[in-house]
Structure 1
């Protein structure tokens, strides 16, 4: 399998379609009825993670403004399982007509191809980027009584106690696991990985003192505010606007540390360029609405309006970075 799951493709088809109207008028071989404008019926968005997950929360934040702009119902269909591959495969094999889209965490595109020897679809060949929705950064959080008051003391403690500190994750090869391994590799420390079946379960054991730290996707921040946990650093190149006084791991000496991931919308390969452009425009318009921005902020995430080409570039870089970590740290999905 190609190490990078993001490839340029179908340029000739996209060039042919580039002159089509943004409303998505009929194009040869697309499955549109002659003269049918897009959208002429409800649009289904498959979320490949369960209700309550960050991709689910994000697609629900943009669904209503998208529906109002498109003039058709936007129906959310949660199809979780197999690290997001069940829902992604459904969309990858759907008709490329713009009526079945995928809302996914970035890991489906950037991580899965590196850790699964065999996948039921090719993310590079079978899916095309439509619109980035939000960048989710991870936060280094420890149990409330951990003997370190800041990130530099934390790293020093890990170095002084190799193998004595534990960290949780949402499972093998998940973003939380990769972040922990990135920290271990860059800091030259050893901590014991404890995988869970989801971030919420890891958080429960962190609160109970069963593990020492984890990289939080935003669900622990209320517990930080309540004083039950410590927030030591942000795993991103820049500080979080929600926590401007919290340093980044890069500032603490782990140069370029970035464990963020971009969640967004994809369509089956072959979807007309005019349809993708229309969807991209409506999603970007939704992302600047105050109520949508407020909902995204509850995940400690930041809206990321960009073009499909810009989205593709971001995901390609994430794939390169995570692929390197996976190979260097010998990470597998089991």
Structure 2
């Protein structure tokens, strides 16, 4: 046993320093351990700014189901549609930054809404903590199979010959389909006539009925495409879709400036601690690697593709800059 000698006993000043150092170390280490092992400590909410039943909502529900199993803790989806998804976005931006309230966003819609709506209570970049991309897909540029348009060039040539006479259907003002069509027109130097509809189903019906010349649609129209009633002139993503591998990308069709990756991902309010972000990212990445999840996401038109929080943050910032400029350039309005 060591002897308690003056040399071995800590002196009063040294003892106080050691105690202060130990307290500081404990204060710094304990929150990290709690964040690493104590999350989630309550129900996690995934807020969706779109109505139930759509591809974004369905992707959120797949995540919620699998994350609940992964964590052994409830994960619920809350739909807060309206005002270009800004209602849901504002709610999450003002939530406690503890990782228990997340927002499923489509970066393009997020960017456009920020440019379209004035006096928002949040900043589209600084008010959020990026977590990860969840899935990446594409829009389809569709025409009725009875039209003479066989290629995108055919459509653009007609639009140039008849400025403002070629009409298109979108799923609403400020929607991704609206954005893609206006981006295409801007890049090709043509003017289309926009006809907004309240969702994908009525927009597709308008195209089937010959009320518009083309439409920009997500996977919801794939049945009509596969039946031969509709024809795809291009996909907007940066690679061909396995659903229609013979259809060129919009870049291959000659208009690379109109490329648009239809993606969804997760963000939280600004200030979510780094260890919680890491846990969320790891859990979502694990879930997205499951074969049944990849299959279910593919059925929604998404490739299950997680990204790093940093990369996803860059995607959001890039879209906010790019599509904000487009909104101002072409004068997009909410009504």
TM-score by length of structure 2 reads 0.86
Aligned counterpart, 2:35: 24
CA distance in 2, matches of 1:207, 1:147: 14
Q: Which residue does 2:113 correspond to in 1?
A: 112
Looking at structure 1, the residues matched to 96 and 295 of structure 2 have their Cα atoms a distance apart, in angstroms, of 34
> Which residue in 1 is equivalent to 2:197?
196
Rg larger in structure: 2
State the Cα distance separating 1:226 from its structure 2 match: 1.0
Equivalent position SS for 1:238: coil
Distance 1:113 1:86 in 2: 11
Moved over 6 A (4+): none
| Structure 2 CA distance for aligned equivalents of residues 163 and 121 of structure 1 | 36
Contact 2:140 2:235 in 1 (8 A): yes
State the Cα deviation string for residues 138-157 of structure 1 (Å, max 9, x = none). Answer: 11001221111222322223
Write the distance in 2 (CA, Å) between the matches of 1:319 and 1:257: 15
**Contact map agreement 1:237 1:257 (CA 8 A) in 2:** no
Alignment of 1:1-334 (within 5 A): 20-21=32-33, 24-25=35-36, 37-334=38-335
Q: Distance in 1 between matches of 2:130 and 2:303?
A: 18
Q: Structure 2 unaligned segments of length 5 or more: list them.
A: 1-27
CA RMSD of aligned residues (A): 1.9
Q: Any stretches of 5+ residues in structure 1 without a counterpart?
A: 1-15, 26-35
User: 2 CA distance for matches of 1:175 and 1:157?
Assistant: 23
Question: 1 CA distance for matches of 2:316 and 2:123?
Answer: 15
The CA deviation string for residues 237-289 of structure 1, in whole angstroms up to 9 with x for no partner, is 22223322111121122134312232111111122111111111111111121
What is the deviation of 1:217? 1.5
Shift of 1:108: 4.6
2:60 and 2:270 map into 1 onto residues whose CA distance is 21
CA contact (8 A) 2:99 2:268 kept: yes
CA distance in 2, matches of 1:227, 1:119: 44
**Cα distance in structure 2, aligned partners of 1:332 and 1:256:** 21
Say how many residue pairs are matched: 307
How far residue 304 of structure 1 moved from its aligned partner, in angstroms, is: 1.9
What is the CA distance between 1:163 and its match in structure 2? 2.5
The answer to whether the Cα contact below 8 Å between 1:217 and 1:299 also exists between their aligned partners in 2 is no
CA contact (8 A) 1:48 1:84 kept: yes
